[in-house]
Amino acid sequence: MAITLFDPWRSKLCTCPRKYSLNPYTGCSYSCVYCYITSYIPRGFEARLKKNLLKQVKRDIAKLDPRIPVTISNSSDPYQPLERDYRQTRACLELLKDFNFGVEIITKGDLVVRDADLLAEMRAAVAMTITTLDEGIAVKLEPFAPSPERRLRALQRLAERGIPVACRIDPIIPEINDDVSVLVKELADIGVTHVTSSTFKPRPDSWRRFSKAFPESAAKLKELYFEKGERIQNSYYLPGEVRFKLMKRVRDACDKHGITFATCREGFRLNTARSCDGTHLLRSSYPGNA
């Protein structure tokens, strides 16, 4: 199946509502240092087409419950450069619209604005990942992704079209991007109404990349992660008190600017939104029929 129930490794810390997951591509060319897909997708940073994707999506849609929303994407970006030429994400959206599925887009790609015409006519929301406003840090964390400024402008243009928009400030890494006050203010100013945040939870492969990109910070954080922290399934977590402090900092900024907040796989009672992932932003019917 191309569309499956979302199940992040059966994590005991996952608070996501019931939803489907659809990845129009395999792999992601943005090559983010912190990304976990390389731990389970061969050649994870080599983006490629899926064979017979649309045929499979059509078959799946006919069997699925349209009351359950679909997230696009969880293991690859739906608006990475391949989409400009192949338009598989847009084709999937057109099919989902025909069956009145709610859809949440999760992306770093400002190409999503191309599809604003379609998203504005759907039960849709867009969650844009922005980890920092510092261009120098961003290019080291997310080497081939659009700049933070381009992502902010994309969110603004979507909000101006009446499309609900959220932001994923994810992951937060101590000393790298843990001061989010200016970012959250910018988000509030352009119409973002919800933030989901999480701390960096490295696996061996992403830790190697992080250590290469930020050697001094990795040296300082190594003890926190691997001696004072804990391993949960395949990921390493910072100590609970450190994670709580980082997440509380984001929540306080969101409270100040009137944005709802939620954590992702942290286990803290800090959420102020009806859903952790932003799917509560989806309308209950088509915009034209609401």
Q: Give dist(CA 170, CA 141) in Å, integer.
A: 11
Contacts 24+ apart (CB under 8 A), 44-52: 47/76, 47/80, 47/81, 47/82, 48/82, 49/25, 49/82, 49/86, 49/88, 50/2, 50/23, 50/24, 50/25, 50/26, 50/88
pLDDT digits (tens, 9 = 90+) for 32-64: 999 999 999 999 999 999 999 999 999 999 999
Q: Give dist(CA 4, CA 164) in Å, integer.
A: 24
pLDDT at 2 > cutoff 70: yes
Q: Residue 287: which pLDDT band, with cuts at 50, 70 and 90?
A: low
Domain that holds residue 62: 3-289
The total of other beta-carbon atoms located within 10 Å of residue 215's CB is 9
pLDDT digits (tens, 9 = 90+) for 119-178: 999 999 999 999 999 999 999 999 999 999 999 999 999 999 999 999 999 999 999 999
* Average pLDDT of the chain to the nearest whole number: 95
Give the chain's domain count: 1
Which whole number is the average pLDDT over 260-264? 97
Which whole number is the average pLDDT over 219-241? 97
* CATH code (residue 173): 3.20.20.70
> pTM of the entire structure?
0.95
pLDDT digits (tens, 9 = 90+) for 161-211: 999 999 999 999 999 999 999 999 999 999 999 999 999 999 999 999 999
Q: Which of 14-18, 70-74, 150-154 is predicted with the least confidence, judged by mean pLDDT?
A: 14-18
Taking Cα atoms as reference points, which of 183, 210, 197 lies closest to residue 251?
197
CB 257 within 8 A of CB 188: yes
Q: 258: left (phi > 0), else alpha (psi -120 to 50), else beta?
A: left
Burial 6-34 (b: 16+ CB within 10 A, else e): beeeeeeeeebeebbbbbbbbbbbbbbbb
Percent of the residues in the chain that have a pLDDT greater than 90, as a whole number: 93
Radius of gyration of the chain, Cα coordinates, nearest whole angstrom? 18
Q: Residue 10: which pLDDT band, with cuts at 50, 70 and 90?
A: confident
